[in-house]
Amino acid sequence: MIEITNVSKTFGGNKKAVDNISLVIPDGEIVGFLGPNGAGKTTTLKMITGILECDSGSIKINGIDIAKEPIKAKKQFGFVPDNPDMFLRLKGIEYLNFMADVYEVAEEDRKPRIDNLAKRFGMVDALFDEIQSYSHGMRQKIVLMGALIHEPSVWILDEPMTGLDPKSSFILKEMMKEHVSQNKTLFFSTHVLEVAEKICSKVAIINKGKILFYGSIEDMRQHFKDDESLENMFLELVENEYDA
């Protein structure tokens, strides 16, 4: 579970990137995080994962405050950032083993987990190459594998589908469903509304640092009293905000 309570963040000047938001991401549900570019999605995810400190408010992951017990809190989640270009000169296998060291995965668990993830994502043949020889999608996959190697109960994914081929994208969606079926937590941002519509049980829509809507897509339909597509509802919400 992720609990975000009255969190704000300001960069320089007065413009608030995130403005007093509160969200509870419960266990057992896939929660999508939607919003136009520059709405505050990545800033929020960065505060949840401890990359940024919040100016006010608190964030708890499985009940552990990220500001007060950062290391214990960070062990709870696996995070996939939006840009997978990291550790490019390590080999895939070296990166995974590094992440296993970081998350203190037992030696005997490593091989089966890496084999399993590599098989599912079709990365078996690429593990012994340097990451910089990978395509964008392969880099995305290796970062995903690194984030999942300690089998975290909370997944936080920033645009995880970007660059994935249809098969890998399908497998990831299946894995996301499996994950929440074990009553675990999943919070991910996306631009692809079809994906959100298909797999999310709840969506949070953010714009200009404020949460405009948080609930199930059904709730949203009722809110709009119409059988509209998520895309239309999203545009309506965000555009009203733009006009305001």
d(CA 68, CA 62): 13
Nearer to other proteins, 114 or 172 (CB): 114
Q: Is 63 in the site for other proteins (CB under 8 A)?
A: no
Minimum gap (Å) between residue 189 Cβ and other proteins = 15
Using the Cα atoms of residue 117, residue 123, residue 124 and residue 127 in order, give the sign of their dihedral.
negative
d(CA 234, CA 228): 10
Torsion angle of C-alpha atoms 46, 48, 50, 56, degrees rounded to 10 = 100
Shortest CA distance to 23 belongs to which of 47, 55, 52, 50?
47
Six token digits for residue 128: 């012994």
d(CA 182, CA 84): 27
Q: Is 51 in the site for other proteins (CB under 8 A)?
A: yes
Number of residues in contact with other proteins under rule CB under 8 A: 44
Pick from 21, 54, 114, 123 the residue near other proteins by CB under 8 A: 114
H or E element: which one contains 22?
A: strand 16-25
Minimum gap (Å) between residue 87 Cβ and other proteins = 7
Minimum gap (Å) between residue 149 Cβ and other proteins = 11
Q: Is 74 in the site for other proteins (CB under 8 A)?
A: yes
Q: Is 151 in the site for other proteins (CB under 8 A)?
A: no
Q: Which stretch binds other proteins (CB under 8 A): 20-28, 107-115, 168-176, 182-190?
A: 107-115
Pick from 13, 14, 37, 111 the residue near other proteins by CB under 8 A: 111
Question: Which residues, in sequence order, are bridge partners of residue 154?
Answer: 77, 185
Strand pairing class (185-189; 56-61): unpaired
Nearer to other proteins, 134 or 234 (CB): 134
Using the Cα atoms of residue 37, residue 39, residue 40 and residue 41 in order, give the sign of their dihedral.
negative
Q: Is 125 in the site for other proteins (CB under 8 A)?
A: yes
Q: Is 210 in the site for other proteins (CB under 8 A)?
A: no
Binding site for other proteins (CB under 8 A): 46, 49-53, 70-75, 79, 81, 83, 85-87, 89-91, 93-94, 97-98, 100-103, 105-107, 110-111, 114, 124-126, 128-130, 132-134
